Amino acid sequence: MTARRVTLADVAWRAGVSKTAASFVLNGRDHMRIAAGTRQRVLEATAELGYRPNRIARSLRSDTTHTIGFISDTIATSQFAGDMIRGALDEASDHSYVLFIVEAREDTAIGQAMIEGMLDRRVDGVIYAAMSTRRVALPTALRDCPVVLLNCLAEDPSPPTIVPDEFNAGRDAARLLIEAGHDDGIYVVGGCHRTGRTPEGVYAGWERMRGIQQVMREAGLRLAGVRECAWHSPRHGYREVRALIAAGHRPQALICCNDRLAMGAYQAVGEAGQTVGGDVSVVSFDNSGLAGWLRPTLTSIALPHYELGRSAVRALLGGGGTAGFTSIPMPAVIRDSVRGPVRRSAWSNTVLLR
Amino acid sequence: MTARRVTLADVAWRAGVSKTAASFVLNGRDHMRIAAGTRQRVLEATAELGYRPNRIARSLRSDTTHTIGFISDTIATSQFAGDMIRGALDEASDHSYVLFIVEAREDTAIGQAMIEGMLDRRVDGVIYAAMSTRRVALPTALRDCPVVLLNCLAEDPSPPTIVPDEFNAGRDAARLLIEAGHDDGIYVVGGCHRTGRTPEGVYAGWERMRGIQQVMREAGLRLAGVRECAWHSPRHGYREVRALIAAGHRPQALICCNDRLAMGAYQAVGEAGQTVGGDVSVVSFDNSGLAGWLRPTLTSIALPHYELGRSAVRALLGGGGTAGFTSIPMPAVIRDSVRGPVRRSAWSNTVLLR
């Protein structure tokens, strides 16, 4: 620093009061003891000089740092991380808190050191976030600190937990197709994601499948098939849909478990000389950037990342009264990939029409 | 907190030394004054009890918080933010620093308040980052603090600045096409991005165009045309290439200013019954996820976000000796969208072949 920092003494001098009086005003301990005129002069001097109290020193007295730790398993690999963090930032900012964001890769010494480094700086509470919904083992370093789980699940006893409502998202995907007139040849691409490193499948996959199957049963229908595959690249969606068509099947509608799989499905449908939205309806999940970029644009049930982030901060600052499990609705974003008219009336307020 | 925090007194008691001796050891002020055996016992007791020094109190004495502020204009809207932040986290972690990440939307009261909130917590220095390279007005609150600019430019006098080497990226894009045998019908899609809110164009656009034009001149060639358009959606690339073909032009090669524009170019080329990589070569910039998802896969000059983040932290921790302008190389990632063979020998070490 080159410029001298404005101190409490400067403020007191400008206001014509003692340092103790100025300190009382600025620490909110001035009720009854300080005259209104004095208080006013201190606040004016603070504003004029651009004085900022030294929060580090103050936190030793007031036992709060107005800082929330945001621990994420991986900031980099998800395109959605930003929205979740932005939601958390906005809610924190509404309450004059700031976020201290740390990427702690699970089960690593570095991750552990990062978490401890954050606790050393005395955060008031911690949001522990995963970028795709999954079960986590809460680091032991966080055992004694107020914690909210964001987009992840822990074993009992669990802290307050904020997750997307994947089950109703699955229901909505199936309802969209049925209401568009589909009653046959409906396939799911992706399924529970029971592949590779996650043989048991992913939370989003299970919940979405459960919702889809329930709606199909309620309508007296059956899925024509479920193509289990990995979710991370359009390549997987492409392969599955190409194989389906090559085997002589004639899919009428595809429920793709994310927009990347839908992109691959588009590629395979196009190569087979068919059109999405005409010959084959496609509905998807996530509502990532891709959904608006594909031709025709893709109907997709949105992951509410921004609202997830906001809700987590709200739950943390709300204190202990918000224990349990909160599901955040996933709105359907309806575009041009499903054939036939969509009856807006059927969709109440959970659907955005773009 | 429910469990009592382990204190320095606990450590001293367990090690059988005075609190002063334990404090000297843990603050690194123990040379000559403390016996080696004592030092050893303190460190063992610290590990056994899981003691963590209170960094807030310590920072008042040692004048460093081992914390770096990372101020970003917008975390959410860029798919690349994560890589840049991850690079910064890794480099900070190598030096036992943690990052305090703040999103400060420019010219807003909230942004200002966020920055001041961060300075109040006494960061040792600040990285001021933009998610796409552009000119910024450095907030006055940062005037007296060590700052490194990441992916942005300020007026003189400017702090040390880290940006991608867009000029040589432009050169490489043009070289790739020329070496594949293209000498005619080469169009640029996107250009300087002289549209809408940025009539003067964007830094990346100008630098890439400068590099492209220089290589064309050196080879005695001329661009067949430059289609200026916005960069943010495939729709723009689609429209420009469709219009080009509809007007009777026969593009042989397209240099698209980012992968989204390239995605739109693919859509227009496909609709015209032509093939990318066969009838039309496409080379692009950014190397986002899209590049590997398109069919055929897309050759793209990568934005080195991870390395940008690392370099910024390195410049900040390196102190004042790194003033000036540092350009980080952008490696070409060669895939299947350019026709003809690529001679690896021509590309030395700046090219990844996947």
Q: Are B126 and B69 in contact (CB under 8 A)?
A: yes
| Closest-CA distance of chain A to residue B97, Å | 8
B264 and B122: one domain?
no
Residue A97 covered by a domain: yes
Which residue is closest to A50 within chain B, CA to CA?
A: B141
Which residue is closest to B66 within chain A, CA to CA?
A: A117
Element (H, E) at A211: helix A203-218
Cross-strand pairs, B281:
B253
**Per-residue pLDDT reduced to its tens digit, A136-191:** 878 877 877 889 999 888 876 678 999 999 999 999 999 999 999 999 999 999 99
Bigger pLDDT: A45 vs A269: A269
Is residue A47 less than 8 Å (CB to CB) from chain B? no
* Of the partner residues B56, B110, B233, the one whose CB lies closest to the CB of residue A93: B110
Indicate if ipTM > 0.95. Answer: no
Torsion of CA A298, A304, A306, A307, to 10 degrees: 150
Residue A147 covered by a domain: yes
Q: Which residues of B touch A77 (CB under 8 A)?
A: 82
A114 and A13: one domain?
no
Share above pLDDT 70 across residues of chain A, in percent, rounded to a whole number: 78
Mean pLDDT of A213-241: 96
A183 and A285: one domain?
yes
Residue B62 covered by a domain: no
Residue A112 covered by a domain: yes
Dump the DSSP string for A31-66.
TTTS-HHHHHHHHHHHHHHT----HHHHHHHHS---
Touching B: A residues 7-46, CB under 8 Å: none
- CATH for A47: 1.10.260.40
Bigger pLDDT: B332 vs A115: B332
**Per-residue pLDDT reduced to its tens digit, A173-186:** 999 999 999 999 99
| Closest-CA distance of chain A to residue B120, Å | 6
B270 and B184: one domain?
yes
| Nearest alpha-carbon partner for B242 in B269, B205, B281 | B269
Contact call for A116 and B89, based on CB within 8 A: no
User: How confident is the prediction for chain B on average, in pLDDT?
Assistant: 82
A294 and A214: one domain?
yes
Is residue A63 less than 8 Å (CB to CB) from chain B? no
A199 and A85: one domain?
no
* Of the partner residues B52, B59, B122, the one whose CB lies closest to the CB of residue A119: B52
Count of domains observed in chain A: 3
Residue B59 covered by a domain: no
**pLDDT in the model for residue B325:** 84
Q: Are A191 and A204 in contact (CB under 8 A)?
A: no
Contact call for A114 and B98, based on CB within 8 A: yes
Q: Which residues of A touch B7 (CB under 8 A)?
A: none
Bigger pLDDT: B64 vs A309: A309
A259 and A225: one domain?
yes
Mean pLDDT of A111-118: 72
A345 and A205: one domain?
yes
- The domain of B237 spans 166-304+331-353
Contact call for A52 and B119, based on CB within 8 A: yes
* Of the partner residues B59, B114, B122, the one whose CB lies closest to the CB of residue A98: B114
Residue B58 covered by a domain: no
Residue A62 covered by a domain: no
| Closest-CA distance of chain B to residue A97, Å | 8
Residue A88 covered by a domain: yes
Say which residue the tokens 């590990």 belong to.
B47
Contact call for B3 and A144, based on CB within 8 A: yes
Touching B: A residues 233-252, CB under 8 Å: 233-235, 238
* Of the partner residues B117, B144, B235, the one whose CB lies closest to the CB of residue A2: B144
Contact call for B60 and A57, based on CB within 8 A: yes
* Of the partner residues A89, A145, A263, the one whose CB lies closest to the CB of residue B103: A89
**H helix and E strand count, chain A:** 12, 13
User: In terms of DSSP H, where are the helices of chain B?
Assistant: 8-15, 19-26, 36-49, 55-62, 81-94, 109-120, 166-179, 203-218, 234-246, 259-271, 289-293, 305-317
Rounded to an integer, what distance in angstroms lies between the CA atom of residue A177 and that of residue A249? Answer: 18
Share above pLDDT 70 across residues of chain B, in percent, rounded to a whole number: 79
A34 and A173: one domain?
no
**pLDDT in the model for residue A122:** 73
Task: Give the torsion sign (CA, A270, A276, A282, A287).
Answer: positive
pLDDT at B58 over 60: no
Rounded to an integer, what distance in angstroms lies between the CA atom of residue A23 and that of residue A17? Answer: 10
A183 and A300: one domain?
yes
Is residue B57 less than 8 Å (CB to CB) from chain A? yes
| Closest-CA distance of chain A to residue B14, Å | 21
Q: Which residues of A touch B77 (CB under 8 A)?
A: 82
B143 and B174: one domain?
no
B107 and B214: one domain?
no
Q: Which residues of A touch B293 (CB under 8 A)?
A: 233-235, 260, 263-264
Neighbours of B294 (CB within 10 A): 24
- CATH for B115: 3.40.50.2300
CB pairs under 8 A between A and B: 138
Is residue B83 less than 8 Å (CB to CB) from chain A? yes
Please state whether the predicted TM-score (pTM) of the whole model is above 0.80: no
Half-sphere exposure of B90 (CA within 13 A, CB side): 16
Contact call for B102 and A98, based on CB within 8 A: yes
Residue A197 structure tokens: 């490193």
**Per-residue pLDDT reduced to its tens digit, B148-189:** 999 888 876 678 999 999 999 999 999 999 999 999 999 999
Rounded to an integer, what distance in angstroms lies between the CA atom of residue B221 and that of residue B244? Answer: 20
